Amino acid sequence: MSTPAANASGRAPRADLRRRVLAGESTIGAWASLGSLASSEVLARAGFDWVVVDLEHGAATEADLYAQLLAVQSTPTGALVRVQSAERMRVGRALDTGADGLMIPRLETVAEVAETVSWMRYPPAGIRGLALSTRGAGMGAYAHDTVAAEINPRLTGVFQIESPLAVANAAAMAAIDGVDVLFVGPADLSHAMGIPGRFDEPSFIAALDTVVAAARAHGKGAGILLKDGATIPAYRDRGFTFIGVGSDTGWVTAGAKAQLAVAKTAMAG
C-alpha cells in the first residue's frame, strides 16, 4: 500500500493513520461524546490525529453516525467509532458508514478478539459482508477484485483492555493481525481490579506495563485515555503512543464551570 502524502496543512491524511500507529508514531486523539456533528468537526479542525465518535457511552446513536463521520472526515483527522458492543452487525454498520477504524470495548479473550477482527475485514482475510455501494467501500469506487486489497489495510483496529482477564490475554491479542492498538480503559480496568479510580496503585501500574509490553512485543500501539494533555509525559515514558486527552463533553463542562465562576466573582466585586 502506498503511503499518502501530507496535505497542504502539513498534517498526515487520515488514510495514513494505521501505518503511523504500526510504525510506532505517537498520535493524540479526543472523544466526540456530545452527539453533535458541529462539535465533532470542531475537534477535528483543532488538529487531533484521530477522533472517536462514541456510541458506547456518548449521546450519539447510529442514526447520527453518518453526519458525524462526514464532519470529522472533512479534515485530515481519522474518524474512529467506538461501537456499543462487539456484534457483527454493529461492526459492519459502522464500517459501511465509512469509519476509518473501530474501537471495540469489553472483550476479554483471544477468541472474541479474533472473531471481531474477522468482521472488520473483507474476504479472504475476514467475513465482513460486502456491498460495493456503501460509503465504507467507496460507493462503487472499487471493483470486486480490488476492494479487499484497498480497504482492509486502511482500517485501524483499537481493542480495549478493561479487565484483569484482558490484561492477562493482552500478548496473545496483540499477536493477531488487525489488532493495531491495545487501549486501556482506566476507569473500567480499575473498577474491575477492585481499586476504582486508584490509578497510582502498584497493581494498576503493573497492569499498564503488561499491556505496553504486549503491544511492543508485537509491533502494535499501546493506547490510553487520560484526563488531560498535561498528564501525557508520565504515560509516554511508560510506552503509550496512542493517547486520548479528553472529550468534548468534559471540555464544555469544564469551560462552562470556569466561566461561571469568573462571572460570579466579577458580579460580587
Please name which of 47, 52, 43, 50 lies closest in space to residue 10, comparing C-alpha atoms.
47
Cβ atoms of residues 1 and 70 within 8 Å: no
Residue 191 is a catalytic residue:
no
List beta partners, residue 158.
Answer: 103, 181
| CA torsion, ordered 80, 150, 66, 131, to nearest 10 deg | -130
List beta partners, residue 80.
Answer: 52, 101
| Burial class of residue 9 (count of CB atoms within 10 Å of its CB; 0-12, 13-18, 19+) | exposed
Amino acid at 48: F
Backbone phi, then psi, for 150, in 5-degree steps?
-80, -40
The single residue listed with the C-alpha cell 476492494 is 147
- Active-site choice (57, 144, 191, 218): 57
Question: Which residues fall within 8 angstroms of residue 244, CB to CB, at 6 or more apart?
Answer: 28, 29, 30, 31, 52, 223, 224, 225, 226
The single residue listed with the C-alpha cell 486489497 is 149
* Residues marked as catalytic: 57
